[in-house]
Amino acid sequence: MSQQANNPFLTPYNTPLQVPPFDQVEPEHFLPAFEQGMAEQQRSIEAIHSNEAEPTFENTIIALERTGELLNKVSSVFFNLASAHTNPEIEALSKEIAPRLSKHSDDIFLNPALFQRVQKINDALDTPGLDAAKKRLLEKTYKAFVRSGANLSDADQAEMRDINKQLSVLTVRFAQNLLAETNKYELLIHDEAQLAGLPESIKANAAQLAREAGKEGSWKFTLHQPSVMPFLQYAENRALREEIYNAYITRCNHDDELDNKEIIVQITSLRAKRASLLGYSDHAEYVLEESMAKRILNVLDLLDRIWDAALPVAKSEALQMQELMNKEGDANELEAWDWFYYADKVRKEKYNYDSESLKPYFQLANVRDGIFKVVQNLYGLTFTEIRDIPKYHEDVMAYEVREANGDLTGIFYMDFFTRNSKRGGAWMTSYRKQSIKDGQRVAPIVSIVCNYAKPTGEHPVLLTAEEVETFFHEFGHALHGLLSNVEFETLSGTSVPRDFVELPSQIMEHWAFEPEVLKFYAKHYQTGETIPDEAIAKMKNASKFNQGFATVEYLAASRLDLYYHILWPEKRIEPNTFEQGWMQDMGLIKQIAPRYRSTYFQHIFAGGYSAGYYSYIWSELLDSDAFAAFKETGNIFDPATALSFRKNILEKGGTEEPAALYKSFRGKMPDEKYLLENRGLAKA
């Protein structure tokens, strides 16, 4: 009893809106809660498959859907903290718990008696009384068993278990190595002359990082995005740009204890073996079966068409930079560490556009309020900050989200700033998914996590245009989770194929720099002046510049992902050689590296995007076409279009096939021309 009384996971949450009691959670609480959660779910599973009554949707599928409440509760907190605010205890437990959770999952999906019941219900798919959502849940449940190996022989199931166990540990190691490697590096500068070209705000942040490291009087730059990317964009010192760039693109590639190459070899081989056991030609075929694209040829066809449009543009951009470089008296050949620096110079020269001069208009608090207004105009939602609520870090902000009529929509956390305990990138996640229980809608608890530089001195947080876009993007994911209105968690919110999940996020990016929206939030942090029309025009004129680079680096990573996942189990590769060979075959120019090199490609080796990194461009087909639906009305806040997008996309989760959902909204499948136009790749 004492253990249960002291462990916040083992009693009902006594917190506002039943959010996790972060202020009570200690590392030692996780393992007992995991163990009890697994034991409780296993008892529930035993009760289902030992039920002597004839299998029905209610006593098997719904009963299975409702199992694992405690395990889900502790898992959501643990794995979110492992990404957003980890510590040595959490990292150690991640390695310990991963294989145990893998075994627990296999014990469910490889349970023959349970599968027999699920299969019997699936064989009677046309049973009266099942609506479309229930049929979808049955289909997904049955497929989950089959794709986990339920139809395999005992020997093959044993091999499947071993593969899953190994993968669970390897993916954790990959992510932990990357975080440690990113945190390990520092570029420490003692001579201010070496900072020539850097804006004062970037220098102030570097000085703050140095002070926090006990190196007062110096300037510290790291491999975290808010530090390394401005350095590459503005630093005049070419040798230092080369140093930090090479450190960035060789993370976990130094043949030391943090090297990820052998982990990649093992992960790709194990995934290929698992796919082969299940009867697929490769891991890509296994993944794409559950995608909107369905087949790798469909993906490659899209990627090839866009590649053919983008690569000549990227080469033209490189020539422009080389010309400027030579014009300034530098006879060197343009290299990858020069790209960001000269791209900024060409942008200023060609469009009179200086991204740094716009940052004073992008104060984080104002951008946040601007997004709130956009969402209120579209969907009637209001956001009210909650101060007396548990949070896992002092930087986190919490909001109560309500409908126009006052009904609770959900609880929303935002975690903005870079820290050593947080992995890189930006993402949306859930602590509780929306569902309907006992006829009542269970409000979701959703969070977005970013990596912006913390404020220094008396200055507020000022964002770059790219960071503003990221904020809108993640907010779109959050809306997908918050506005979900389905019965079952398995089909809730973002529980859709990878190449559809980016539609709600990427469509939000379209509002970010619309002139009407900029007038909401782009206010100078010192004067309060609204961003001038002249500055908006410059942004628009420059918006398609460097899109050759942006498209090519993304597509290179997308194709690299696919190439890794069409390998067969016996294929022994060396990641550096493998990567370089494919880049040469694709014709990638030396000044552009894939957005993610293999050894730090966390999306595919420690995330959920294996054989699915292409999803962003696939979804961009949809979001570009979907935003055109708003533009065609002459009103980017058109109520009827917004309501249709909400009802057919945001509320529906995974209750129908993505193509059907999209057609319900748009009346047709998307037109590729909008994507090419938005990226400046359409032929004149």
Which residues are registered as beta bridge partners of 427?
449
Told to judge if 186 belongs to the known catalytic residues of this protein, a careful annotator would answer: no
Which of 181, 356, 474, 579 is flagged as catalytic?
474
Beta carbons of 377 and 566 less than 8 angstroms apart: no
Q: Euclidean distance between the first and final Cα of the chain, in Å?
A: 73
Determine phi and psi for 595, rounding to 5 degrees. -50, -35
Please provide the size of the chain in residues. 684
231 alpha-carbon distance from chain centroid? 24
- DSSP assignment, residue 125? T
- What tokens were used for 460? 């507020």
409 alpha-carbon distance from chain centroid? 23
Nearest to 624 by CA among 573, 660, 669, 657: 669
Which letter, b or e, does each residue of 294-333 get, where b requires 16 or more Cβ atoms within 10 Å of its Cβ? eebebbbebbeebbebbbebbeebbebbbebbeeeeeeee
- DSSP assignment, residue 67? -
Q: In angstroms, rounded to a whole number, what is the distance separating the alpha carbons of residues 444 and 199?
A: 41
Q: How far is CA 375 from CA 113, 155, 496, in A?
A: 48, 53, 22
Whose tokens are 């075959």? That residue is: 585
The DSSP-derived string for 376-416 is HHHH--EEEE--SS--SSTT-EEEEEE-TTS-EEEEEEEEE
Other beta carbons within 10 angstroms of residue 399's beta carbon come to 19
**What 3-state DSSP class applies to 457?**
coil
- What tokens were used for 662? 């999209």
Which letter, b or e, does each residue of 182-204 get, where b requires 16 or more Cβ atoms within 10 Å of its Cβ? beeebbebeeeebbeebbebbbb
**What 3-state DSSP class applies to 424?**
coil
Whose tokens are 């060197």? That residue is: 332
Beta carbons of 336 and 573 less than 8 angstroms apart: no
Which residues does the annotation mark as catalytic?
Answer: 474
